[in-house]
Every structure is written in structure tokens, then in C-alpha cells.
Amino acid sequence: MHEPLVDMDTYNLVQEKVKMRKRPDAWGNYGIFAGLVKCGECGSTMNQRVANAKAKTRILTCAKYNRYGVAHCSQHRLELDTLYQIVLEQIRSCAALALADETKVMEELRKSCQCDSEEESRRIKAKLSESERRLSELDALISKLYEDWVAGRINETNFTRMMEKAQTEQETLQKKADTMRERLNGAAKEQEDNSEWLSLIRQYADIKELDREMLHLLIKEIVVHARQTHECVSRPNPYN
Ligand SMILES: [Zn+2]
């Protein structure tokens, strides 16, 4: 039997960590994957249960399917042991790659979180300083206009027209500059998170076992699709 496709976002965002669920499994244990595994079709949590009481095969299935049946989702059955092996392999290969080619992994991380490349950031920075320059010109222009008007060097109609024009440009430019600043800050934060994750993952190249703490530290989310292939498993990089 083919197992479902497991799509893993191994990219850690400590501050966005999924809430850990504290519900024990059928054996009273807190599953190490609890809170991390989602159904790829409906987004529900995957519940852990026993498929074969005799063999004690533990499986994960879509919570929505369990509750509402086939009209709402499909089972997405995945054996826990299989998931364990897949995740172990994935972490090890990610770690090996991080050790072997840091630059490549950083680049993949950057792509996966869709943040700006350095080149793009540089372009935005240049544009931002250009906007800032124009904004201070506008400030000076507005003060000058006001002085001219007070001194009677310009009539009311012209003053109003020019003032409106300058203020409109100022507002538009201000908004643009704010957006650019936010984007630059976002990119810097992503970069920092990526570096942090990279230094973490490198420590896991030789792990033999998984534990809950490690999983929550390294993996943001595991998505189980119903497609019958393993193709994604070998992909060493985070995505989503
Ligand atoms: Zn589902």
C-alpha cells in the first residue's frame, strides 16, 4: 500500500510555533508529533489512533474525516512509524546539506519564505533614500510656500494650489516610504530567522531518534496529502 505524500515545512519560526497540544494519545502518552501534523486537503489536525488493536499499529488520520466522514475529507491515513522514519530522514538530510553547503540552504530558505534577495533589498534601500531625499525637499518647499504667503509674495489662489500639490505628493511618498521600510525590516528579520535555523539544524546530522522538543524546534508544520507518492520526502529544503 502506498503511503500519503508527506509535505514538510522544516523551517522553524520560533515565534510562530504552533501551539502544542497537550492531549495524550490512546496510551496516555503525549505524541511527539502532536500539534505539528495537518491534513493537506482540509487543514484539520491529524489525529492519532490505533488501526489494528492486535498489532497496535498507530496511525494518523484526518480529524475532519474521522468526525464527519467521507463527504468532508478523505482519511489521509499515515502510519506513525512511517512518519517517524520520514521525518528522521528529512532532518538528517537537511542537517547534512546545511553542513555541506550553507549558502545553498540559505538561498533555499530565502526562496521558501519568499523574502527579498540581497540585490532586491539593495534596490529598495536605494529607492527609499531617494524618497527620503524628496520628502525633505518637500518639507522645505512647504515651509517656503508658507513664508511666501505670510509675506505676501504669493497670492491665496496660488498658495492653495501649490500647497495642495506639495502635500499630496508628500502623503503619497510617505506611504511608499513606510511600505519600503516595512519590507526591509521584514527581510532582515527573515534573514535572522534563517540563520538561526541553519545553525540549529546543523546539530542534527547524526540523530538516531526524534523527540518532541527537537521537532517543535525545527519543524513548523507537517502536511499530509492524499497523493500516493513519496516524491517530496527527499526534498531537503523547507517549503510551503
Ligand atoms: Zn482532511
| pLDDT, one tens digit for every residue, the chain (240 residues) | 455 566 666 554 333 333 344 455 544 455 788 888 889 889 999 888 888 778 778 888 899 998 999 899 988 888 888 899 989 998 998 899 999 998 888 888 887 777 778 888 899 999 999 999 999 999 999 999 999 999 999 999 999 999 999 999 999 999 999 999 999 998 888 888 888 888 889 999 999 999 888 888 888 888 888 764 333 332 333 433
Listed by start position, the domains of the chain span 5-113+204-234, 118-196
Q: How far is the CA of 72 from the centre of ligand 1 (A)?
A: 7
Q: How far is the CA of 7 from the centre of ligand 1 (A)?
A: 14
Q: Which residues in 10-151 belong to E strands, given as ranges? A: 37-39, 46-52, 57-62, 78-79
Q: How far is the CA of 226 from the centre of ligand 1 (A)?
A: 9
Reported pTM: 0.66
Q: Is residue 76 exposed (0-12), middle (13-18) or buried (19+ Cβ within 10 Å)?
A: buried
